[in-house]
Each structure stands twice: as structure tokens, then as C-alpha cells.
Amino acid sequence: MAKKFLTKSVILLMTTAMCMAGNIAAYADTQADENPAVYVTGTTINGINVTGKTPEEAKGYMESYYAGSFELTIIDSSGRETKISNSDIQLSATVNGGLSEVLAQENQNGRASGPSVDNSYTVDMTVSYDENALSQKLESMPCMTTGVIQTADAHISAWAEGQPFTIVPEVAGNSINKEAMTAAVKNAVETGQRTLNLYDADCYEKVQIRSDNQELARLCENMNKCVNMSITYAFGDQSEVLQGNVIASWIQGSQGTEININRDEAAAFVKGLADKYNTAGREHVFKTTSGKEVTVTGPYGWKLDEAGEIEALIGMIRTGESQTREPSYAQQAASRSGNDYGNTYVEIDLGQQHMYLYENGAMILDAPFVSGNVSKGWTTPPGIFGLYYKQRDKILRGEDYATPVDYWMPFNGGIGLHDANWRSTFGGTIYQKSGSHGCINLPPAKAAVLYDHVYKNIPVICYN
């Protein structure tokens, strides 16, 4: 094979050409530095070099760079490279302004350039791209698909019957924090970066909790105590005990430095308590003054605060300590033993049109009344209710009336007990054709006595 040699003359010509090219470039830079209509040497705007360009030229150049020349190289911790070009994600950009201001600033600063001068600027740009295409590109990167070891915090093992809870050591892997990587790549695209090192950009998941964490050790100790703990729920003279072996079966290891408890299991347990011990909305057997028994249903009664009790139960389990608890209630009644309405209540016999007030089991007041007009469809409904409140000097308003009363005691929507000084007689069959709009009309003197003895949530029992 023939070898090619460069003569001294050729070498001299090449050296001369290189010097001339360097001189031409230096001359061009010098010309740029002296021309107030263009950017000085080394000017970059949004990461793009615009040396020697006018603002109009820079705008076109920057936009065409994104549309035709942009390429971002992403480097993972193993040195593998993934390239994203403008065509991969349908990238385009529009410079919204600020280019003339950059040139004015350079002119105002004396058009300084060189290694010691920072001539990098940022202007407002609208960069658009196909986010789905970008997401798919990121998902297919080697660091997301090949040789991935999932980073994991130290944690506590899940429950295995007959085995203690133990600390499982951390794993220092190479898994990517997808959210952080996506944000870093988007920022690189939008600012015109050419390379992005994922490690330097803090895109890898990090171990947050190590096996020597003292909180984790304390947690593991508490979890092992759970096996032997018990939680006793008190419902008057009845109780329900949640045993440690059941509690332990709900534990799914740890999350951070907290016991991870199966919330569905805790919720099911609390619901079971509510199903068994709630009385609101259920049938109540009531023995009337006349001696007969009637069944009434209504909103009065016990009702667990299920959402609050689930949180309380999980909190108790996390302590690892046995305890006795009365559950939290959304609504309470008078008694947990026997009838929940207790022995202090207002009895309303709609059939006999007579009211009775019992206090600690003794009748202290009775009175005839007039209830809702049956002929007009205003019949007072039966049921068991709790008194909402009591109020003096109330004006009762309806579509066709505004009636002042001295004593107002509502218990069922707009239905309440009150005095009716416009009536001269009470009881009997008045209610069938000349009754009220649904309220219990009482003789004024009787209403006054009743008012003095009733209180919020006292049971009001209506029956036919």
C-alpha cells in the first residue's frame, strides 16, 4: 500500500490556513464586540449561543434550534446514554420577548466579553412538546427497564403466626425516582440543555430509614407487644374484647416509622361494633303509661362515630399497650343498660291525645293536647326522637301563618311541643278535623311546666 506523506510546503500551507481561519474568527468576534446592534462574544440566551446576532436573528435561530437541532443526551449512573431529539417529542418553541432588553443591557454594561464575564441570559419562551411521547421515551430508558434494583428503606416484617416481628435491612439500589427524573428532563428540554446527568440531578431514590434507626427499633418492640395486648370496648354493662392475635394479624409491617395496619380490617371491626350496639334508627319497645307495649322507630339512640373510632383504634394499636375504652359516638342516648331512652322522657300518646312527662321513673306532669290535623294530611308522625333545643318567645312561621308562642320545644324537623293560647279545649278528637300543622299544642300552663323540666336530647316518644 502506498503511504501518503505531507511535504514541508503542504504543512506550511495548512498551518497558514489554520492561522487565517483563527484570525477570521477572532476578527468576527471583535466585530461583534464592537457592533452595538448584535450580541457580544459568548452571549447565550436560554442556553443557546447567539454571538454576533441581532435580536431578530436570535429569535429565529433559537426557535429553529428547538424545531430542528435540539437533542438532549441523558446519562444514567451506569454511563448509559439515551438521546431525545426534537422529532421524538414534537418539540417547538416561541420566544415571547426580552431579546432587545438583553442587547440593551450588554450595551449599557460596555459590551464586555471574555472568560471573566457572565453573558448568559434567560428570556420568556413557550416550549411545547408531546408529554405522552416524552413519558413513553422515559419509560423505555435502560435505567427504567434493565438491571433495576429497587431501593428500599429498612422496615419491619409483616405478621407471620408464631414468628416475632423483625427489622428487614434497607436496600441501596439504583431505582429511579420517576417524578424527579421527569421534572429534571422537562426542565432540561425547556431550558435548552444538551446533556443531563441523572445522578447529578438527584433523580435516584435514596434510602431514608436504615436498620440502625432507633425509631424503627422502638416500633419493632411495640409491634411485638401487640401480640400480647388487648383492647376492651365498654358498652354499659357489656363489653367486647379485641385480642392481640387478631390485632397482630392486621399488621402489615411498617411504613416509615409507623406500624402499617390494615385499615380495612380495623374498619370492619368497628362496623361490627356499630351493627351490634347502635340503637338509632332501630325499633324500640316502649311500655306506655296505660301498660301496653308499642314499637317505635326513629333517630333517637346510640350511634358510633365510625370514622373517628377507626382512627382511635389504629392509634391504640400503635401504642402496643392494653387498654379499656368507651367508643366515640356521633350521637348518644340516655342509657347503655336496658332501654336506651332511660327513665326520664316525654311520652306522647297520639291516639289518646295525652302527654306525660316522666322524671327518674316518676310521672311529674300530664296534659291533654291537640296534634296534627288528620283531615288535611298533617298527622303528627309516631317515632322516638331527641329534643333539639328549647326556646322562649318564638314565632312559628308557615306558608299561611305566623304564630307567636311562649314555649317552643322542637323534636322532629319543624314539629315541636308548644303552648296554644288560642285554644280553649284540648284532647279528644279535635285533632281529626281542627288539629295543628303537625305540632303538639299544649295548654299554656302545662307547656310552662314542661319547658322547665325538658332539656336537649331528652327522649320524646310518640305512638298511636
- What pLDDT is recorded for position 97? 93
Whether residue 390 is predicted with pLDDT greater than 50 in this model: the reply is yes
* Spatial separation of the C-alpha atoms in residues 444 and 459, rounded to whole Å: 21
Average pLDDT of the chain, as a whole number: 91
The C-alpha cell at 215 is 425509631
What is the pLDDT averaged over residues 377-390? Answer: 98
Confidence category of residue 193, pLDDT binned at 50, 70, 90 = confident
Whether residue 26 is predicted with pLDDT greater than 70 in this model: the reply is no
Helices of type H across 300-443: 306-319, 430-434
Mean pLDDT highest for which of 4-8, 91-95, 421-425? 421-425
The C-alpha cell at 4 is 501518503
Choose the weakest-confidence range: 138-152, 245-259, 383-397: 245-259
Which residues lie closer than 8 Å to 341 by C-beta, 6 or more apart? 284, 286, 300, 333, 334, 335, 384, 459, 461
| Pairing relationship of beta strands 401-412 and 391-398 according to DSSP bridges | antiparallel
Whether residue 4 is predicted with pLDDT greater than 50 in this model: the reply is no
Whether residue 389 is predicted with pLDDT greater than 90 in this model: the reply is yes
- What's the Cα-to-Cα distance from 16 to each of 9, 12, 19, 20, 193, rounded to whole Å? 11, 6, 5, 6, 36
What is the pLDDT averaged over residues 104-119? Answer: 93
What is the pTM assigned to this prediction? 0.62
Choose the weakest-confidence range: 105-114, 255-264, 397-406: 255-264
